[in-house]
């Protein structure tokens, strides 16, 4: 069997996903065969593997960092929120139903432990190392009894736990100490130490605090990663994007032509796969922003209506905010609009939905000659085709079945004037097609924008993953990390009071 490590975090968005990817890339460079693993993921950003399984995009990104093909084994449980209190449960890549949070944590989650442990066991029999990512914080003591993704999986596999803290938020020492002290004695035995993320400044000024933390907890810090702009790596949570504004934190590269191209993405509720526009943001001279007001569409050269887990809800939101009228005006004026997946469905004439929203018959925006009927079975596919004379690859994740009754064919959807619609996610990552599409947009918008002739989204993604590997290799104690992965948690780690009461016994497979 292989070694392994669980990367946990003091909070959501502490950096677990990128640290896991960075460790995977570092190990791969060293010739270690490695696989990522996240037992349970809650995300609206998902991906379709070659065998037709739906998993979190973060795990697909981590698999790319490890230079392996992503599979359902790497993310056996995916929860896709459909509202404040319920989620679609995707098990081994296939949807198995909707469930409330109470129902899931009340029994279903614990019943999945054997499944996730079995997946981890299979990965460990295939790879030299498995790097697991936790979810949220391991110190969510109200959920510990049914936990299968943090200390639950660490206990089952006897994996050491590395806790990541985002120092840019402040309070990282209290977070490290408090996270450890809220765990039971048995869980604390696995917490090997800490990793500081997003540090700005002189590390020597931090070192006294790290020494004090070691004295208080008996646990060392395995590295201090500097704040790094412009990573652009797939995120799990689309809910924060509209607050963040620009897609990329890096400085926008200058345009090749005389003009920039402005792209406005409607930040619809339950937005899914907002990473579709990352390839646009990677183009020199293209400025991509998420918007939620009608006036923000006025100076946009292209408006994108992205995917959503709530098509009818997004349609209502667009109408309530005046964005629907603004989109209709754009269409009438011949100004470009692109709808992707749920956004494509919104642009159609009519929706019949007894599955997702159970709203029944609903009128769409009527900008494309399309009628949509929601089927109970989800379409999960990796289509390949051609558009604008260029090859295109993508992936499909949707319940809505579109009947296209007119317009020009466009991938699986259609085009009418300058309004485009498709169910294909990821199509803009096809470089030649993206350049041709942006040329069409610039022409319709009257912009003297010229796509860069040599932008390769795949190459940029590899460079970003290499940057993550560099962060680990240059700023973490890699020898100590390897010892953790190979030998497990250090012996004799002290207990930090008060500790939580012992959780229910965790089933452990001897093969692990």
Is the pLDDT reported for residue 150 higher than 60? Answer: yes
Per-residue pLDDT, 103: 66
Q: Can you tell me whether residue 11 is helix, strand or coil?
A: coil
Catalytic residue among 24, 119, 341, 414: 341
290 neighbors 241 (Cβ within 8 angstroms): yes
Per-residue pLDDT, 229: 75
Q: Where are the beta strands (DSSP E) in 134-260?
A: 161-166, 191-199, 220-226
108 pLDDT band (50/70/90 cuts)?
confident
Active-site annotation holds for 266: no
239 pLDDT band (50/70/90 cuts)?
very low
Catalytic residue among 398, 399, 425, 475: 425
**HSE value, Cβ hemisphere, 13 Å, CA-based, for 133:** 35
Of 239, 235, 168, 165, nearest to 21 by C-alpha is 235
Residue 280: CB partners within 8 Å, gap ≥ 6? 247, 263, 286, 288, 304, 428, 434, 438
Pairing of strands 220-226, 46-48: unpaired
Residue pLDDT, tens place only, 361-382 = 999 999 999 999 999 999 999 9
Q: What's the pTM?
A: 0.92
436 pLDDT band (50/70/90 cuts)?
very high
CA–CA dist 117, 111 (Å, integer): 11
Q: Rounded to a whole number, what is the distance in angstroms from the first to the last CA of the chain?
A: 7
444 neighbors 334 (Cβ within 8 angstroms): yes
For the record, the structure tokens of 32 come out as 């270690």
If you search the block for the tokens 């012992």, which residue do you land on?
Answer: 502
209 pLDDT band (50/70/90 cuts)?
very high
Residue pLDDT, tens place only, 458-488 = 999 999 999 999 999 999 999 999 999 999 9
Q: What value does the mean pLDDT of the chain take?
A: 92
500 neighbors 182 (Cβ within 8 angstroms): yes
Of 509, 30, 474, nearest to 226 by C-alpha is 474
Per-residue pLDDT, 452: 94
Per-residue pLDDT, 359: 94
Is the pLDDT reported for residue 504 higher than 80? Answer: no
CA–CA dist 444, 447 (Å, integer): 8
Active-site annotation holds for 425: yes
């Amino acid at each position: 069997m292989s070694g392994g490590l669980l990367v946990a975090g003091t909070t959501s968005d502490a950096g677990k996903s990128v640290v896991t990817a960075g460790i995977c890339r570092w190990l791969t460079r060293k010739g270690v065969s490695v696989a990522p693993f996240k037992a349970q993921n809650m995300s609206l950003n998902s991906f379709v593997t070659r065998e037709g399984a739906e998993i979190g995009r973060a795990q697909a990104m981590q698999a790319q960092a490890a230079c392996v093909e992503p599979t359902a084994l790497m993310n056996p449980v995916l929860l896709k929120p459909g509202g404040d209190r319920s989620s679609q449960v995707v098990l081994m890549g296939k949807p198995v139903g909707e469930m409330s949070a109470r129902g899931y944590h009340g029994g279903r989650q614990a019943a999945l432990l054997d499944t996730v442990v079995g997946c981890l066991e299979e990965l460990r029999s295939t790879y030299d190392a498995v790097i697991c990512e936790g979810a949220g914080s391991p110190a969510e003591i109200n959920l510990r009894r049914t936990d299968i993704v943090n200390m639950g999986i660490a206990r089952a596999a006897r994996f050491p736990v590395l806790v990541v803290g985002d120092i840019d938020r402040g309070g990282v020492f209290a977070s490290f100490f408090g996270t450890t002290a809220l765990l039971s004695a048995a869980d604390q035995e696995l917490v090997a130490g800490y990793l500081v993320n997003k540090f700005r400044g002189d590390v020597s000024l931090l070192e006294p605090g790290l020494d004090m933390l070691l004295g208080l907890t008996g646990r060392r810090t395995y590295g201090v990663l500097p704040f790094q702009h412009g990573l652009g790596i797939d995120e799990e949570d689309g809910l924060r994007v509209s607050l963040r504004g620009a897609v990329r934190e890096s400085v926008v590269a200058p345009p090749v032509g005389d003009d920039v191209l402005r792209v406005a993405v409607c930040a619809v509720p339950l937005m899914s796969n907002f990473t579709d526009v990352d390839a646009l943001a990677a183009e020199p001279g293209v400025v991509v922003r998420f918007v939620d007001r009608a006036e923000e569409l006025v100076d946009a050269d292209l408006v994108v209506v992205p995917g959503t887990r709530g098509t009818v809800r997004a349609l209502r939101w667009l109408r309530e905010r005046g964005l629907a009228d603004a989109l209709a005006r754009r269409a009438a004026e011949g100004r470009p609009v692109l709808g992707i997946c749920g956004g494509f469905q919104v642009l159609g004439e009519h929706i019949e939905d007894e599955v997702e929203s159970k709203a029944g018959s609903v009128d769409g925006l009527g900008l494309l000659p399309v009628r949509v009927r929601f089927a109970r079975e989800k379409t999960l596919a990796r289509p390949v085709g051609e558009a604008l004379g260029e090859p295109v690859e993508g992936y499909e994740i949707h319940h809505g079945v579109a009947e296209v009754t007119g317009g020009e064919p466009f991938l699986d959807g259609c085009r009418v004037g300058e309004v485009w619609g498709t169910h294909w996610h990821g199509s803009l990552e096809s470089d030649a097609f993206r350049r041709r599409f942006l040329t069409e947009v610039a022409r319709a918008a009257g912009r003297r924008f010229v796509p860069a002739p040599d932008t390769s989204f795949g190459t940029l993604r590899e460079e970003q993953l290499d940057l993550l590997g560099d962060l680990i290799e240059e700023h973490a104690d890699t020898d100590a990390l390897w010892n953790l992965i190979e030998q497990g948690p250090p012996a004799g780690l002290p207990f930090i009071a008060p500790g939580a009461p012992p959780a229910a016994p965790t089933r452990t497979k001897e093969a692990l």
